[in-house]
Structure 1
């Protein structure tokens, strides 16, 4: 089973990566930019595995670049209290 198959596991995975980035001293601006780039890649290259991912992809596809960046920032906020190491 892939990490992308279960949205809760995906959020934990992202939360762990966010905490690691923060511990390494990455600024919020850099984290948000990385989230945007990852979101852009996932929307273009990865088939959604569940309903939540299908919704995120649909929102990404209809959004302007500014809206996509806001969606990426919201995903960062969503996972800030997730993960196995918080």
Structure 2
């Protein structure tokens, strides 16, 4: 897959508009694997956060990406466990400011997973 299909390129530049495309390319089996349990979801996020930190992305950029992912999951995926259901309900109840704050909290939650 060429670099222009990725959300982050080799120089660490982000194209957050490509988040939906990247998630749409992920197969259903892989989504089920990641979203099947909340612990697996947190571990997956943690691995992505660690990679983002290594290439120098700021917490703000990671939170913006988390917002895009939250919007995608809320619109296109059914929660697979009660934790995801709670996150979805919180996401829907909040406005943009609340979602941004929740995205920051998810980034921090994922940073604490090891």
Q: TM-score, normalised by structure 2?
A: 0.69
Spell out the pairing of 1:1-86 with structure 2 (5 A cutoff).
Answer: 2-83=33-114
1:3 and 1:75 map into 2 onto residues whose CA distance is 15
After TM superposition, the runs of 4+ consecutive aligned structure 1 residues lying more than 3 A away are none
Task: Tell me which moved more, 23-32 or 13-22.
Answer: 23-32
Residues of 2 paired with 1:61 and 1:18: CA distance?
A: 24
Unaligned runs of 5+ in 1: none
Unaligned runs of 5+ in 2: 1-31
TM-score (norm 1): 0.91
Cα RMSD after superposing both structures: 1.1
Higher relative contact order (CA 8 A, sep 6+): 1
Quote how far apart the aligned CAs of 1:32 are. 1.1
Superposition deviation, residue 22 in structure 1: 0.4
Aligned positions, number: 83
Tell me which structure has the larger Cα radius of gyration.
Answer: 2
